[in-house]
Structure 1
Amino acid sequence: MPSVGAPQRSRAERLLAPAAQRRLRHAARLSALAAALWLPQAAALAWGIAGWAEAAPLARTLWMALIFALLGMLRGWGERHAARLAYRAADETLHVRRQALLDHGALRFGGTSSAALAALLTEKLATLGPWITRYRPAMARARLLPLLYMLAILPISWAAALVLLVAGPLIPVFMALVGMAAQEASRKQMVEVGAMNTLLIDRIAALPDLLLLNAAEASRAEFATRAEALRERTMAVLRVAFLSSTVLELFSALGVAMVAVYVGFSLLGEITLGTWGLFGPGLTLFQGLFLLLLAPDFFQPLRDLAAAWHDKAAAEAVAEEVAAAEVSLGAPVLGQGRRVPPLMGPASILLQGVALERGGRRLVLPDVAVAPGGSLALRGPSGSGKSTLLEVIAGLLAPETGEVLVAGQRLESDTADAWRARIAYVPQQVHVPEVTLREFLSGEPEGAVPREALRRARAERIVAALPEGLETVLGESGAGVSGGEARRLLLVRALIRGADVILADEPTADLDAATGAALVEVLAALASEGRTVVVASHDPALCAAMGRVIDLQADSC
């Protein structure tokens, strides 16, 4: 744990956007300077009160009151402006980090689960806010104010300065010791938050199966266990926070109490030691009041820093998860996902020397060349790289080495969106958005869906079985369709939109023999019409219907 005065660029600070860094620096300086105005305020207040006891002219008290009020207004403006800068820095940083994670994960395949990513984007990233708005300003005040107060107190009383000098450093020492435990407790709490969210999303997705298998009670027990673990982690964080607060309040209270006792007995004439003797033995009323007003504020910056230290511990735990998520999500897919005109050129595909990391291992993909209107089947056991090769062709994965040429041009961020405008991609797991079937197929709420396209993809029965036909809302909260039905609907969409490149990943999986054979006929017909078709499949009939087959492993089907 770093010391109070040692600036160190931590993992959490590396999450800050450059503009947020500048705003935080300004906020920290302004907050420290505004807080330092208490020094002349305290002097004005003590001088004004001392004038009452000394029967000084009323004008002295009025002038001191005016100075105190003006300095208070200036201090309030500075603190308000500093807080505004800090909150703007927090908002900007949270927006930038959320957008970066969304850009990385928008079209990812595998990696961090959606539930864990959602927990990171909402609950966990939000914990950066208190750290950004409180820690840096608190650190600036802790560096400046105790030293400034010590320079003001020491010429008046070396005894009061000695008390504060002994009690003050104990706060950062215990803050560092407790801070190590706080960071570990916060890290464990964040892990439990993510696990709870993942469990919730998984169980919601599997709810029909849980009811069919009569496993609701077992799922409820698992929820109870996970909730209890989260409660224990949260209580551990709170215990550390309460322990830290107790220790810090103890030392600050003792320090203020000892200064108050010394000032009291000195004003009563019982103690004549502890001063330099420049103004006579003991303290004057002004000096005593000035010391009493400064002593609590000597500890306040350290107490603020201690409170913000817990925010820093939570932020460091979140920063570790952000770094891990960015590594897991990897680089974002090529392109921006925008609607652009289709890429010009023949519908050709060429892969040469392509290799990339996938699932913790390095995959070296075979060289592939598909002429316009050609058809190709990728054959091999699970894990051999069939799906990965399709994703590379679609620009959903960027190779580390080698090159991918599509329509005679290099596939990169500038061309990926235009290339995908020509593609109909049929993955194994289809995400059906929460829109009507008509809009899903045609791309428009009132778009036409030719019956011929439904017939060719053997999807007429799917539409007939839906409660409102083409106007049925699909998706998570809609009527829904099975995986095999969704893949056939994607082929309908390809026929309607005129896609001239078809990429299909196990399109006949989960289908009965008759429907699978019909779908093979559809894909073969698309290839015969001059469309470029690439499929990944274990299905011998589908492989045989393609013009060429590439075996990714010699012992594949």
Structure 2
Amino acid sequence: MDKARQKYLQKWLRNQQKPIRNLLNINILLACISSVILVIQTYLLATLLHEVIINNTPRTQLISYFIGLLFSFALRALILWLREKIGFKSGKKLRNIIRQKIFDKINQVGPATISNKPAGSWATLMLEQVENLHNFYARFIPQQALSAIVPIVILIAIFPLNWMAGLILLFTAPLVPIFMILVGFAAADSSQRNMDTLAKLSSQFLDRLRGLETLRLFDRTLEQTQHIEEKTEEFRETTMDVLKMAFLSSAVLEFFTSISIALMAVYFGFNYLGELNFGSYSTPVTLFVGFFCLILAPEFYQPLRDLGTYYHDRAAGIGAADTIVEFLEGDYLTTQSNFTQTIESESAVEIIVEDLIILSPQGEKLTRPLNFSLPAKSHTALVGQSGAGKTSIINVLLGFLPYQGKLTINGIELRCINLEQWRKCIAWVGQNPLLLQGTIKENLLLGNIGVDDTEIDQALQAAQAKEFTKKLGLNALIKEGGIGLSVGQAQRLAIARALLRKGQLLLLDEPTASLDAQSENQVLQVLSKLSSLQTTLMITHRIEDLKRCDNILVMQQGQIIQQGKFDELKDKGFFADLLAQRKQDIH
């Protein structure tokens, strides 16, 4: 990572702290108070030692000093506890804000963009990489301010007593931050490599886990196990590189700090031996002054040493921010707009497409100019080989892909419609229905949370799902991904959920692919009835589905090459070839 990129990421990270600025200021203020209490505490301790050792003062006369010392210890401990709580709260708040930004961006670009990367990459981005920002805000930012404030407070306390001790601290202090800066560049690169390796490992592992059954069928488990082992070893090496930088820098920081403290100890030692006679404003160097300066010397360097420790949190934060910023500021083309025109919730939907070219989020053309219409309350089928562009049409209707040309909904250009409101008008059923962990009823209510039990019962009846839901009960628990139900049962629940949504546009992607012949016919009858109430666009290859449609759109290589009814197309061109291939596959 070059220096310009690091500077930009640092600036971005600092700009994100605006929502927690008050918390950070409180944290810094408490630390400043703690540093003042530290000086008072050191004064009490040095005074006690001087009075007991030099003046032989009776201990009974020093009770107030003992009480003050204990009180200062307790107060500093309380402040430290408060600072830890505030730091955690600020880090937590910032993580939630950044995660929300990522969610908003994901919602904006849509599934067409998200599917370009493995699911594990997004999991790493949302979890590990955002988590790596926590210590940057909770520890590094406050510590950076303290590394300047606390030494100044200590110097103000020491210089009036002994200017030589103050100069020793003043001139040796820059050694620590200079070394931290030198180490920081290498640490940031190591953290970035570590994050990249973790993202690759997470995505590959999750993908292999999901396809475990397929790997077993094709006897490829050993090969993939070795591949994961290699990536795991690569991640171990990058992690050790990060730890190596951390331990090495900590050792060097401790070395410079120890040399500086030793230098001050030698100075006071020679002073007490009478070999040196400067630095004390022509007054004797008392035991109080020596103890006071030597006790504060380690505390003078402690904020800088802590900053050195937290400097790796900065490196980790910059490494994580690189991936986060790359996504958040990525130039993705979308259909999003600031227009607020809406579709009437009670009106039927008519869609007209003229010279429509669908684009990828990166601006590449996915189709040739398309021209077709979906009349209100019509049932249209979309057919074609894999990769013909069928899914692209679905995605552009959902507002997930940008486009050129004209696409109107009831006469209103899609770009000018409030997409959030438009998507509420759409019900969708795919080949692999998404069911979340929860009860059957909870999954059905995802379609429309405002429906009552009677409407749920009617939808289940219409989707031919009443038989098994009556046995299981609506409160039966199903696991993530529909585990606990057969594929056909899950599909019928998805269809029932779509019925409950009561949308004006119904999008179907092979809705009967997982059903037996009897259930398929029954569901198709339901879908045919729905077409009289709402506009339907269905992707399908089944002849039985196609016969029931009002219109068929035939796609090949990103263009619509045939349109018409089943009887008009069954013996013509590419559609006839598709039917012949379908019959051959069945037999």
Q: How many angstroms apart in 2 are the aligned matches of 1:254 and 1:26?
A: 34
AA of the residue aligned to 2:235: L
> Which of these residues, 426, 429, 433, is aligned with residue 426 of structure 1?
429
Deviation at 1:308, TM superposition (A): 0.9
> Which of these residues, 161, 169, 175, is aligned with residue 170 of structure 1?
175
Residue number in structure 2 paired with 1:47:
47
Residue deviations 1:232-255 (CA, integer Å, cap 9, x gap): 111111111110111001111111
* Contact in 2 for aligned 1:430/1:486 (Cα 8 Å): yes
Matches within 5 A, 1:359-370: 359-363=361-365, 366=370, 369-370=373-374
AA of the residue aligned to 2:345: L
* Contact in 2 for aligned 1:20/1:89 (Cα 8 Å): yes
Matches within 5 A, 1:92-491: 92-105=93-106, 108-109=111-112, 110-269=115-274, 271-280=275-284, 283-327=285-329, 343-350=345-352, 358-363=360-365, 366=370, 369-377=373-381, 385-395=389-399, 397=400, 399=402, 406=409, 416=419, 419-427=422-430, 429-434=432-437, 447-448=456-457, 453-454=462-463, 473=478, 475-476=480-481, 478-479=483-484, 481-482=486-487, 490-491=494-495
1:531 and 2:534 matched: yes
Q: Secondary structure at the match of 1:134?
A: helix
Deviation at 1:303, TM superposition (A): 0.1
* Contact in 1 for aligned 2:436/2:479 (Cα 8 Å): yes
Q: Using the TM superposition, name which of 211-220 and 286-295 deviates more.
A: 211-220
Q: Using the TM superposition, name which of 410-419 and 47-56 deviates more.
A: 410-419
AA of the residue aligned to 2:378: G
Q: How many angstroms apart in 2 are the aligned matches of 1:416 and 1:519?
A: 33
Residue number in structure 2 paired with 1:34:
34
* Structure 2 spans left out of the alignment, 5+ residues: 338-342, 563-573, 575-587
Q: Secondary structure at the match of 1:358?
A: coil
AA of the residue aligned to 1:144: I
In structure 2, the CA distance between the partners of 1:423 and 1:474, relative to structure 1 (3 Å rule), is: farther
In structure 2, the CA distance between the partners of 1:353 and 1:486, relative to structure 1 (3 Å rule), is: farther
Residue deviations 1:169-204 (CA, integer Å, cap 9, x gap): 111111111111111111122222222222222122
AA of the residue aligned to 1:344: E
In structure 2, the CA distance between the partners of 1:492 and 1:143, relative to structure 1 (3 Å rule), is: closer
Q: Secondary structure at the match of 2:428?
A: strand
Deviation at 1:306, TM superposition (A): 0.4
* Contact in 1 for aligned 2:354/2:405 (Cα 8 Å): yes
Q: Using the TM superposition, name which of 100-109 and 232-241 deviates more.
A: 100-109
Q: Secondary structure at the match of 1:448?
A: helix
Q: Secondary structure at the match of 2:481?
A: coil
The two structures have a TM-score, normalised by structure 2, of 0.76
* Contact in 2 for aligned 1:343/1:407 (Cα 8 Å): no
AA of the residue aligned to 2:528: A
AA of the residue aligned to 1:278: S
* Structure 1 spans left out of the alignment, 5+ residues: 336-340
Q: Secondary structure at the match of 1:37?
A: helix
* Contact in 1 for aligned 2:132/2:316 (Cα 8 Å): yes
AA of the residue aligned to 2:12: R
Q: How many angstroms apart in 1 are the aligned matches of 2:489 and 2:344?
A: 27
Residue deviations 1:52-107 (CA, integer Å, cap 9, x gap): 23326557744444444444444444433333322221121122223333344466
* Contact in 2 for aligned 1:351/1:403 (Cα 8 Å): yes
Q: How many angstroms apart in 2 are the aligned matches of 1:528 and 1:429?
A: 22
Residue deviations 1:429-465 (CA, integer Å, cap 9, x gap): 532334566875686889426787357xxx99xx88x
* Contact in 1 for aligned 2:360/2:402 (Cα 8 Å): no
Q: Secondary structure at the match of 1:425?
A: strand
Deviation at 1:419, TM superposition (A): 4.3
* Contact in 1 for aligned 2:380/2:550 (Cα 8 Å): yes
> Which of these residues, 502, 508, 521, is aligned with residue 504 of structure 1?
508
Q: Secondary structure at the match of 2:507?
A: strand
Question: What's the % identity of the aligned pairs?
Answer: 26
Q: Using the TM superposition, name which of 314-323 and 151-160 deviates more.
A: 151-160
* Contact in 2 for aligned 1:157/1:275 (Cα 8 Å): yes
Q: How many angstroms apart in 2 are the aligned matches of 1:401 and 1:45?
A: 77
1:553 and 2:559 matched: yes
Q: How many angstroms apart in 1 are the aligned matches of 2:332 and 2:8?
A: 31
The two structures have a TM-score, normalised by structure 1, of 0.79
AA of the residue aligned to 2:47: W
Q: Secondary structure at the match of 1:504?
A: strand
Q: How many angstroms apart in 1 are the aligned matches of 2:156 and 2:208?
A: 62
